[in-house]
Amino acid sequence: MKTSVRVFSLIVVSLVFAATLHASDSCGVEVKLLLAPAQAQSAVASMNASRPERSRIYFYDTPKLDLLANGLILRIRQGADNDLTVKLRPASEQQFTARAEGNKNFKCEGEVIDGVESPSYSTKEKFDASSVPQTGEEVLASLSKGQRKLLKASGITVDWTRVRRIMAIQSLSWSVPSQPRQLDQLSLELWEWPKGKSLELSTKVSADEGSATFVELKNVAKRNHIDLSPDQQSKTSTALRSMVK
């Protein structure tokens, strides 16, 4: 997709959302910090994490990652909870706070990555993951009404004939007990795929606590003698981009 198409799509995002969504209270934020994946077991032990939950995550995109380039993520999780998620990450300059009318599964949530907050909008639906789709057409046929609505509102044109299952990730996730300074409900997640690994420490807080919480997550890593990853992108971007290098 050309740059001009992306810019046009982002303009459509703001216009269509303005027309179809109404303002809500500020969305919460999920604060994320990537740790050195080689220290996963040390992190689990030092933070007294719970027993892990295992899942497998499948991502769908074109061979050139056109969906990711336009802020669109399609994934299926296969594990204790099987679900299909459509996630939109508009460009930071298009930030807005909104919620979809009549869509109970719509989630508005900022993401703080490397200390920078950006908006995120998604819809997640239960999915029969006993047979995982291979093609984009199969994914399209599985989308709910709410997910189709989010895609339409995004203004992103998807050529479903070019979309395919691009990678599978093995995931281990742990709950971490409360930390000092009221950091509770921490999560630790390790992703492994053929070309790499990613270890993420995260927590969810109110909209005005994102920056301070990012600093506290770094302090948690420091207190537990866990190094930070030099790559502080989202783990989704890290994983998908590693497949086309």
Residue 96 has pLDDT above 60, yes or no: no
Q: What is the pLDDT of residue 128?
A: 86
DSSP per position, 194-220:
TTEEEEEEEEEE-GGGHHHHHHHHHHH
Between CA 111 and CA 32 the distance in angstroms is 7
pLDDT digits (tens, 9 = 90+) for 125-168: 999 878 899 999 999 999 999 899 888 888 889 999 999 999 99
Could you tell me the residue ranges of all domains in the chain?
A: 3-242
Q: What is the pLDDT of residue 20?
A: 34
Between CA 196 and CA 169 the distance in angstroms is 10
Q: In terms of pTM, does the model score above 0.75?
A: yes
Q: Which architecture characterizes domain 3-242 according to CATH?
A: Beta Barrel (2.40)
Model confidence at 12, pLDDT cuts 50, 70, 90, reads: very low
Q: At which residue do the structure tokens 């910090």 appear?
A: 33
Planar angle of CA 177, 179, 185, nearest 5 degrees:
50
Q: Which two tokens stand for residue 93?
A: 């300059």
Q: What is the pLDDT of residue 191?
A: 97
> How does the average pLDDT of the chain come out, rounded?
83
